[in-house]
Amino acid sequence: MSPPLAPLALSGAHVVVTGASRGIGAALARELATRGATVTVVARSEVPLKALAADIGGQAVQADLAEAADLDGLVARIEAGAGPVDVLFNNAAVAVVNRLVDQSADDIRQSFAVNCVAPAELCRQVLPGMFARGRGRIVCISSLSGLTAFPTLTTYGATKAGLTHFTAALQRELRRTPVRATIVQLGEVAGTELMEQARRSPTIAAVSARLNRVRALPTLTPDQVAAQIADAAAAGARHLVTPKRVTPVHLIRELPSRLNDGLLAGLD
């Protein structure tokens, strides 16, 4: 079992948000700034990124997480500008909404590079410093698409499933350390570019409409999601599933790992 940790104060903490130029990332950066954090925002789009950083008094670091040259040493560059990182929010993602046969090789490569490789590499870069300082939080933002299989979200769902499994395994590596990792599983979030892309698929649009008719999956706003993610990070929560009513789906996915925990009990 992980030793209990006191909540991490976001006020005065240095936090990093990837994919922060728009949508959930931008809302999260603003939420964290209102809580007194020093925020470094990372994204490809220079103009909106710098405008956001100026608005919240943070640091903007332009980087394309699909490019190894930008990703290598990124945490060191961030810390050189604003100090040690206390919380890493792996939020950046790309979504290709199409049948696999209609996707390009570049679509698939970029999806896995941004959604899987970049979060794993940023965790690898940030962890030594967190261990040395005796504190830290990592938050990986995934999706319900990574828990259930949707046609036309073949690649996106696979990358999010990979991110979820990566974070679950990382949680187990961090059990006896002062660092915690949180898995965030998001449902539909209104007004985001990713959601609008998804709804271009007739299949996804039809499923979304059906769920809305029976009110099975409430649609959230970026601001609502940002507040919940900030709370989960501060608490070092194991997972955040929103909307909460689909939490059992996440727990079912995690059941084999929980059972495996019994085999690992008492082992380092």
CA distance 86 to 158: 29
For 22-36, the pLDDT digits (tens) are: 999 999 999 999 999
- The answer as to whether 8 is a domain residue is no
- The answer as to whether 177 is a domain residue is yes
* Sheet of 87-90, strand order: 59-62, 38-43, 14-18, 87-90, 136-143, 179-186, 239-242
- The answer as to whether 229 is a domain residue is yes
- The answer as to whether 3 is a domain residue is no
Work out the pLDDT band at 90, boundaries 50, 70, 90.
very high
**According to the model, what pLDDT value does residue 214 have?**
52
**According to the model, what pLDDT value does residue 210 have?**
60
pLDDT at 251 over 80: yes
Average pLDDT for 145-172: 94
* Annotation says 156 is catalytic: yes
What is the residue range of 87's domain?
14-260
For 141-150, the pLDDT digits (tens) are: 999 889 988 8
Question: Which CATH number covers residue 37?
Answer: 3.40.50.720
**According to the model, what pLDDT value does residue 145 have?**
87
For 200-246, the pLDDT digits (tens) are: 666 666 656 665 555 556 678 999 999 999 999 999 999 999 888 88
- The answer as to whether 265 is a domain residue is no
Catalytic position from the list 29, 142, 145, 156? 156
- The answer as to whether 196 is a domain residue is yes
* Residue 201 DSSP one-character state: S
Residue 32: how many CB atoms within 10 A of its CB?
Answer: 28
- The answer as to whether 29 is a domain residue is yes
The total number of structural domains that make up the chain: 1
- The answer as to whether 9 is a domain residue is no
